[in-house]
Structure 1
């Protein structure tokens, strides 16, 4: 009996930690309103403004010795598209506006995955046996800047996602590009180029 109670205590005491784990991008998961778990998130009819901070970002980190680094070409699993629930903010006066913002959040999370794949591809193409880790920062910075520009342009052009037809068109383009870079998903092993 003591063992059972201890096991239940450990299970329940660890639940809050799992609730805040970031969501890794997955083609089968669509963000929901309840994923926007920042304390600032709210849907309140007294509000006169609306906003979103998507909580999506590219996470890139690795830890390996120089010999492992030298012989590693595929860094796909080191570049992750994540959604941080506790940092994701959605503020809207009503559910219609909230769902329009949510559609933009979904687009943005897919855009982050697309640029994660572009980073993975660029690293794969440029990393040589004698490259060092200084190779990564310019690639990451350039593609991060490009992604931010695209996101801001679509954000403005769709009026925070209120122009759902235009947003869907842009979202479809992103999905097509993700599919075109299928060798560069987080768990994929790119095909070797044959010359």
Structure 2
């Protein structure tokens, strides 16, 4: 009995720790410096450079038979925005720079959610009864590329988030875009398209 109790405790701990590695996007969660848990993350006055890898990404997966797939229109729950703590890197020489980078990381996490909603919307609009799974990859690739371009432009325009005013304006645009696509949150059911 003790052996099974120990095994159950190990399994529970593994599940708990694995679950803590990713954060799913919600409108209420604000990233913290403590979320950048990669071993490469550090704030050290000896550093002469700074950088960030946000750890935010769109995760898209589904597993269903062809009949279920044929009659499924809403794939919102299959497209997730996640932040991977164990892969998120923030390197800064001081806390001021670290917080500037963090503000950019927060912007980027929201930008990824905006593009997840754009992907959900486009899939919803283009998925027909006889569509197959080949429909998804071009949509994902096109919008992923667009998102990467926008992120790089804002990264450069704000000098890694140091230009707080410009970053705030860009973040507000993203927030407005998220609200405009409110029917395409992960748990939402979009309104039917009228022909």
Q: What is the TM-score of this pair, normalised by structure 2? A: 0.94
CA, structure 1 residues 11+63, in 2 after alignment: closer, same or farther (shift >3 Å)? closer
Shift of 1:193: 2.0
Superposed CA offset, 1:135-182 (max 9, x none): 001000000000000000000000000000000000000000000000
Partner SS state of residue 176, structure 1: helix
CA distance in 1, matches of 2:56, 2:107: 10
Shift in Å, 1:7:
9.3
Structure 1 residue 16 displacement after superposition:
3.1
Stretch of structure 1 that moved more, 10-19 or 176-185:
10-19
Written as runs of structure 1 = structure 2, the 5 A alignment for 1:11-160 is 13-14=13-14, 15-20=16-21, 22-160=22-160
Query: How many positions carry a matched residue from both structures?
Result: 193
Q: Deviations over 1:3-52 (max 9, x none)?
A: 9x7599448733433332x1100000000000000000000000000000
SS at match of 1:171: helix
TM-score normalized by structure 1?
0.94
Q: Which runs of 5+ in 2 are unaligned?
A: none
d(CA) in 1 for partners of 2:59 and 2:19? 18
1:71-124 CA distance string (max 9 Å, x none)? 000000000110000000000000000000000000000000000000000000
Q: Alpha carbon RMSD of aligned pairs, Å? A: 1.8
1:194 aligned residue: 194
| Cα distance in 2 between the residues matched to 1:28 and 1:60 | 22
Residues in 1 aligned to 2:18 and 2:75: alpha-carbon distance in whole angstroms: 28
User: What residue is the counterpart of 2:161 in the other structure?
Assistant: 161
Measured in 2, the distance between the counterparts of 1:169 and 1:18 equals: 33
**SS in structure 1 of the partner of residue 48 of structure 2:** coil
Residues 104-113 or 10-19, more deviating: 10-19
CA distance in 2, matches of 1:146, 1:89: 23
